[in-house]
A and B are shown apart, each in its own frame.
Chain A
Amino acid sequence: MQLASVHFKQRASGALADKHLQRTLKRFGSGFADKRAAARQAFGEDAFEVLREASAAIRDRALVDLDAWLLRFEAEAVRRGSTVIWAEDAAEACARVLEICARHGLKKAIKSKSMLSEEAGLNDALAAAGVQPVETDLGEYILQLAGEAPSHIIAPAIHKDQGEVSELFVKHHGRPKSDDIAQMTREAREMLRPHFLSADLGISGGNFLVAETGSVAIVTNEGNGRMVTTLPRVHIAITGIEKVVPTLEDLSALNRILPRSATGQEIENYFSILTGPKRSGDADGPEHMYVILVDNGRTRLVGSELQSMLRCIRCGACMNHCPVYQTVGGHSYGWVYPGPMGSVLTPVYQGLENALDLPQAATLCGACQVACPVKIPLPGLLRKLREMQMERGLRPRAERAAFRAWAYAAQRPWLYALATRIAARVLQWMGGRRGLIARLPFAGGGWTRGRDFPAPEGRTFRELYRAGRRRQA
């Protein structure tokens, strides 16, 4: 996927000015967050916290010996008839998929949702090689028609309202317009059905890889994942290497917290554990099953101060609880992963200098960390990235100078007292009779473009306190 994270500010400005999008974002609002809260309550809030703790521990256990669990996964998967392929980056992942297509003469790929496929730009690679990719997750299908990227990792078309989808369907389906969502869904299903039946390749992601059995576990709500992985004669699961968990027991724990954290469901509508291709006697299933394990920057996190980010199970809770995401929408972030988790992943996978705004574009309010099912300290990771930016000289000179000047003064109480004494008076004067500053100079303009700045009272606490004590003495 095209990287546009350097344009965060412009994209966010566009999103703020887009009245239609703002209405859609407001309507989405806290929907998922409310559902998660209800699910958490139904589960028992204390028990839920225990489950979060356990889930984080499971993910950490897998990550500490990531290499060993991946090799175990490979051995078990191969033993059960799958082919395991390793890809270092996006380009290699695409190349390996195309090799498989060429080997089996595959012409049409039906796909269930995969963020890794977005990372790799797989659809473009397939199309360029003459293999038709068809997205079958309803949200992804809508975006494929619109030629857009997902704006949310589990609800990719959340930025589109029903009216926009109706118009898209009229344009691409050539049927009379419907505003009835059930009817529209039926229509999409009718359009997709022939593709399901004619495709020779199914491409899925993988929510988890189970090392002890060599299985790929997939959750979906629409059932498309099940058809993608069983109908065509070849199935390719393409996933990040961090998705591995040691045992089925681990999978079962994580699958209790994933749907509750994502959509507030107790369990997803469809949950599949795929272990190898069709065996003799099986009623259905692919003739060939491939698992492509993709690095694409993940190993850079292993052993680093940001390693906890690899715990991520892609539930979307962080963006569902992020007030910045709710305000600017997912497309502002400019790459595959939006919101808090994206603001950590994009600079790590795509280069710190290619996403300078993302670690900064957070209030560090902590709502994401509290919601994260695997307790990733997201604000701490964003802070760490800010530190890395500072250390590598990637912040503007004026900003660095300002912090240095602040720290210099704040370490010298007499100087600080003098500076604040002057500032309190100047700002009070600027505030005038109403006590409000409508325009601050320099960087302060960022504040006053959208707000007044309430002016100081005029004298600092330090001055007043000293004067009061002198009076008392």
Chain B
Amino acid sequence: MRVGLFVTCLVDLVRPRIGFAALELLEAAGCEVVVPATQTCCGQPGWNSGDRPSARALAEKVIAEFEPFDYAVAPSGSCAGMIKTHYPELFAGEGAWLARVEALAAKTYELTDFLINVARLERVPGRFAGTITYHDSCAGLRELGVKAQPRALLARVAGAELEEMKDSEVCCGFGGTFSIKFGDISAAMAQTKCDRIHASGAHAVALGDLGCMLNIEGRLRRMGDATTRVLHIAEVLTAKP
């Protein structure tokens, strides 16, 4: 099957290695992976900030770029959720567009969801020594039902041991522009999350979204914790010892 990899704007800019990890995993699952060169952003910043026209323009671009593939996969619950659950709202009542949107939404997946439920990846290439706790990113969890999938994959990583934290489903406080507009509240929420991570005793926290990753890592480092690793699930699944 041909998969269009939606790298996402944050991975592209901040952590390209996560994009390559996703690529490796999809190929390990036997997919032919294509990375459309013109891709940029799914339009979520505009959508969540009330700038519907800009969200709309970017959505049209994403639809054109990804509809040729059998599947569109993103290493992000937030961006996949934008396409899957919010694009249909964005084009509500527009017959021709809506048909295209719904077709794309139906074949768009968050990475771990795709690996488990579509590609049925059995063996993961990663090896990891240590305990990992998993933070459930909001959009993946509540919009796409991503909960068991990353845990099932983690269980297949040699050496990795999952240690659940309390309130793993509670938001870390990122919230897109919220993290800048209400920086103090956002940081206080991140602190609560970091306390939970520490209480779990895990060496690393894994998660499925870049926003949470930057937020949690940024707060941990500011607190003086230089050792707890903050990793995207794709990095853990492809980790080399």
Contact = CB atoms under 8 A, between A and B. Distances in A.
Interface string B1-21: 000000101011111110110
B37 interface: yes
Nearest to B167: A30
A363 B54 contact: no
Interface core residue of B15, B46, B49, B177 (most chain A CB under 10 Å): B49
Contacts of B171: 323, 363, 365, 367
A386 B48 contact: yes
Contacts, number: 203
Contact of B189 (A324, A404, A411, A462): A324
B206 to A, nearest CB: 15
B238 interface: no
A13 B187 CA distance: 12
Interface in B135-157: 138-139, 142-143
Given A370-B142, A450-B183, A362 B45 contact: no
A388 B51 CA distance: 9
Contact of B178 (A363, A367, A407, A457): A363
Interface in B27-61: 35, 37-41, 43, 45-54, 57-58, 61
B180 interface: yes
B166 to A, nearest CB: 9
- Counting contact residues on chain A (CB < 8 A from B), the size range is 35 or more
B183 A449 contact: yes
Interface residues of B, number: 67
Nearest to A462: B12
Nearest to B55: A407
Interface stretch (A156-164, A178-186, A231-239, A416-424): A416-424
A153 to B, nearest CB: 21
B142 A366 contact: yes
A454 B57 contact: no
A451 B187 contact: yes
A460 B50 contact: no
Contact of A410 (B41, B50, B170): B41
B240 interface: no
Interface in A162-194: none
A443 to B, nearest CB: 5
A147 B13 CA distance: 52
Contacts of B184: 12-13, 16, 449-450
Interface in B167-183: 167, 169-171, 173-183
A307 B177 CA distance: 26
A406 B58 CA distance: 10
Contact of A362 (B19, B40, B50, B178): B178
A383 B48 contact: yes
A327 B13 contact: no
Given A361-B185, A364-B48, A404-B54, A457 B173 contact: no
A366 B143 contact: yes
Given A366-B139, A390-B49, A360 B218 contact: no
Contacts of B200: none
A328 interface: yes
Contacts of B187: 449-451
A451 B46 contact: no
Nearest to A370: B142
Contact of B185 (A16, A399, A436, A448): A16
A438 to B, nearest CB: 8
B137 to A, nearest CB: 9
Nearest to B52: A387
Interface in A431-450: 434, 436, 443-450
B215 interface: yes
B221 A363 contact: no
B228 interface: no
Secondary structure of the A contact surface, majority rule: helix
A114 B184 CA distance: 33
A452 B142 CA distance: 28
Interface-central residue, B13, B19, B43, B176, by most chain A CB under 10 Å:
B13
A389 to B, nearest CB: 6
Interface string B152-165: 00000000000000
Given A423-B13, A450-B219, A457-B15, A360 B41 contact: no
A276 B43 CA distance: 56
B50 A364 contact: no
B186 to A, nearest CB: 7
Contact of A447 (B54, B89, B143, B180): B180
B134 to A, nearest CB: 16
A8 to B, nearest CB: 9
Contacts of B47: 383
A205 B77 CA distance: 43
Nearest to B143: A366
Q: Find the residue from B11, B40, B186 having the highest chain A CB count within 10 A.
A: B40
A391 B53 CA distance: 11
Given A30-B167, A324-B189, A361-B178, A390 B50 contact: yes
A327 B192 contact: yes
Contact of A406 (B19, B46, B143, B192): B46
Contacts of B142: 365-367, 369-370
Interface in A257-299: none
B106 interface: no
Given A365-B171, A403-B51, A423-B13, A451 B185 contact: no
Given A323-B171, A403-B49, A410-B40, 11 more contacts: A360-B178, A363-B178, A364-B176, A383-B50, A403-B45, A407-B54, A410-B9, A416-B40, A447-B186, A451-B218, A465-B19
4 closest A-B pairs by CB: A450-B187, A363-B175, A407-B54, A386-B50
Interface of A: 9, 12-13, 16, 30, 323-324, 327-328, 357, 360-367, 369-370, 380, 383, 385-391, 395, 399-400, 403-404, 406-407, 409-411, 413, 416, 420, 423-424, 427, 434, 436, 443-457, 459-462, 464-466
21 contacts: A363-B171, A363-B173, A363-B174, A364-B175, A365-B138, A366-B138, A367-B142, A383-B50, A387-B51, A403-B54, A410-B9, A410-B61, A411-B57, A446-B179, A447-B179, A447-B186, A451-B215, A451-B221, A452-B219, A454-B218, A460-B13
